Amino acid sequence: MTRFEKLGFIGLGAMGKPMVTHLAHKLPPASRIWVYDVLQPVVDDLCEEFPERVLKCANAKEVAEHVDTIVTMVPEGAHVRSVYLDPEHGVCSADISNRLVIDCSTIDTATSLAVKDHIAQNFPSASFYDSPVSGGVVGAIKGTIAFFLGCAESDPNVEHLIHLMRLMGKEVIPCGGPSLGLAAKLSNNYLSGVIAIACSEAFDMGMRSGLDPRTLAKVYAAGTAQNTICDKFCPVPNVYPDAPSSGGWKQGFKVQLMRKDFGLAVDMAKRVGSHNVLGDVGLETYDRAANDPRCRDLDSRVVYRYLGGQEDWQTQHNGA
Ligand code: NAD
């Protein structure tokens, strides 16, 4: 697979850096990775860690000039536009004919399609895919993230793409066509965000009625309310020891990122004419939680704290 001998990676943040680290460890010895981030220290760190294997570039255009496959992982749609479409330093200011281009950022579908269209018009032999990920920073470090790939299972590049993504993660799900990886990701995060709010409220009403949250967790797990947020990401601290809440919500998926993804999902729903009653109230809840100094920068299940859930319940149910 000659294409992975010259790989480019742009955006070396909380997710991008561990993804590049997996590639640097697992690609064949002849492969080189050209990288760029607007923050110089993170580029220098990676190049020092993998001398000769990871090579620094001055901008996105320079990355594109060196490689045949480009992966991008930046925060928002505006960053994706700038990385690809900046007339002086963007990926598309290089000749990217025949390149395989994969954007893993979680952004709005309209921006993704606009970049795809621009590439299709200017470089018809290049292929652009959306492929957002799930599994968080811990998953990126462990190499267990899932990719939601915006293409059909019959796409001619699908095997090649899956091979590359499995070097950084575990599951790769082709979602059917362009921008559908993003639509799947936003739909998933909407559902996960709504469940976290519902879970927090359900625990709170049960606990205020006198129930031990450990009993409630067993009830939900045995009943029709069973879900992963309750089981593994329980918003109430110290019910499930490995849940972010049990560590003070310090590790996990930041509430600001949930606010961003929830907002993108609500916008998408409006654009496609999908009626929802929970969207606006959910968005307002995450917006306020993201701006609450008691919650900001913490795992999104801190919405339990934002909603006034009891955190020191163990003093009441001690030994129960
Ligand atoms: P981050 O802010 O930690 O990293 C983003 C990196 O992109 C930064 O290093 C930043 O300097 C760089 N960047 C920004 N603009 C750039 C530009 N124009 N050119 C080059 N580099 C640029 O963000 P992250 O947590 O790594 O998230 C990246 C994407 O992955 C987001 O869309 C996010 O929603 C998604 N995501 C994040 C998580 C998570 O748990 N952090 C989980 C799943 C998906």
C-alpha dihedral over 48, 85, 4, 21, to 10 degrees? 30
Least confident of 138-142, 221-225, 273-277: 138-142
How many angstroms separate the alpha carbon of residue 62 from the centre of ligand 1?
A: 20
Query: What values do phi and psi take at 145, rounded to 5?
Result: -65, 155
Residue 251 has what pLDDT? Answer: 87
CATH tag for 183-316 (out of 3.40.50.300, 2.60.40.730, 1.20.1250.20, 1.10.1040.10): 1.10.1040.10
How many angstroms separate the alpha carbon of residue 114 from the centre of ligand 1?
A: 20
Residue 1 has what pLDDT? Answer: 46
Residue 3 has what pLDDT? Answer: 62
| pTM attached to this predicted model | 0.94
Arithmetic mean of pLDDT, 155-177: 97
Percent of the chain whose pLDDT exceeds 70: 98
Atom in ligand 1 nearest the alpha carbon of residue 260: 34
CATH tag for 6-177 (out of 3.30.9.10, 1.10.150.130, 3.40.50.720, 3.40.50.1980): 3.40.50.720
Residue 315 has what pLDDT? Answer: 86
How many angstroms separate the alpha carbon of residue 115 from the centre of ligand 1?
A: 18
Give me the residue spans of the domains in the chain.
Answer: 6-177, 183-316
Atom in ligand 1 nearest the alpha carbon of residue 82: 18
Query: Which tens digits make up the pLDDT trace of 269-320?
Result: 999 999 999 999 999 999 999 999 999 999 999 999 999 999 999 987 665 4
Query: What values do phi and psi take at 129, rounded to 5?
Result: -130, 140
Arithmetic mean of pLDDT, 67-95: 97
Q: Where are the beta strands (DSSP E) in the chain?
A: 6-10, 32-36, 54-56, 69-72, 100-103, 127-130, 133-134, 145-149, 169-174
